[in-house]
Amino acid sequence: MRISNTLTQATCLLLSLGLTTEARSVSPVAKGYSRSEKCKPHAPFRPLPPSQARTKTCHVATYGDGRDDSKHILSAIEKCNNGGKVVFDADKFYTIGTALDLTFLKHVDLDIQGYVQFTNDTDYWQANAFKQVYQNATTFFELGGEDVNVYGGGTLDGNGQVWYDLYAEDALILRPVLVGVIGLNGGTIGPLNLRYSPQWYHFVANSTDIVFDGIDISGYSKDSVTAKNTDGWDVYRSSNIVIQNSVINNGDDCVSFKPNTTDIIVQNLHCNGSHGISVGSLGQYEGEVDIVENVLVYNISMFNASDGARIKVWPGVSSELSTDLQGGGGSGIVKNITYDTMYIDNVDYAIEVTQCYGQSNLTLCNEYPSSLTISDVYFNNIHGTTSGKYDPDVGTIVCSSPSVCSNIHATNIDVTNPDGLYADEFVCTNVNTTLLDVNCISS
């Protein structure tokens, strides 16, 4: 099973990332098939809108010497918006030193074949990056509008090292997200290479009907400090999103479904070094109602990670996870979530469900249980080997009270410890263990 799944994954990734010149330079929706047809093997929850024809081409000029090319970029986009293609030429270097509001785009392609790097002026970006409404997130640019395709196989570089070093000194600095997709309705993104994001690689907010396909993410710290919070995708207040056929080498969630995210397909991913494919964190803000519903995660290879499949909910009382991340007391719903077919290797927990995120005091969690409900969750066909960090436990499914968790299933789970000396146990609390085809013990 492990060999078969790994080969299937490798085939998907070769097809999506081993790109020909044609694949890099032609719009993914200009080859005679729709966005929905592009989504395989699982189609989106709703059909995706078609993309209109592009009838003009504009090439972006560049100084090529580190000076800010933002005016060149805006000029080309303004000329080719509403029916054109904007080309960042191969073998050219582009520098962005200005926060770009690109939420006016309509019926336009951004064909990024060259290398695009954001400046390392941390003072400028902290003052001018676009402030988002969730977890103090900021973005270098805001990409939004209608019917926008971004592709080309080129590189976006966030110049992250200076941010990793600065964050180690001050955890309250505002580190920009590399790709801010804000208010985009209808689009495809990829193939692209994303490197050295200061924080999350994607923040997708208030958007619908988007396919991410063929994204190659990587970028670690080059010195002793750690590149933290480098999530592959954080999806927030968005629906009908597909994320597929991508390689993610990072240090936090591979994909994370944030509040009010619905109708999401995630398939054919290779994740390495991450915190898993995560629902949450949810319930962070008191008085807020968070909903994550209708999510399918299929055919994932997860290596060297803290978790494989993960659902994380804050407790019913304010908690502090870190200096720059506190919360708890919110409510909401997690419903109709399926993880199907996952291969893990050197992963701490194959499955982790917790309603005590951000709070190590279990007594306090039990005293103030989360009011956020979790129901209709399916963990199917998960195989592989853990890291042994929590021997004999290979997973944990722990709810704060039986009243807020129901209909949680685990089927065909074949996960072992690396040395095979333990009973491969799951910690199961406040859940119906008859629905869990694992070796449950009580916490």
Q: 281, 278, 264: which is closest to 372 by C-alpha? A: 281
Q: 45, 49, 22, 23: which is closest to 34 by C-alpha? A: 49
Q: What angle do CA 324, 313, 405 make, to 5 degrees?
A: 170
Is residue 72 part of the annotated active site? The answer reads no
Catalytic residue among 107, 202, 275, 383: 275
Active site residues: 275
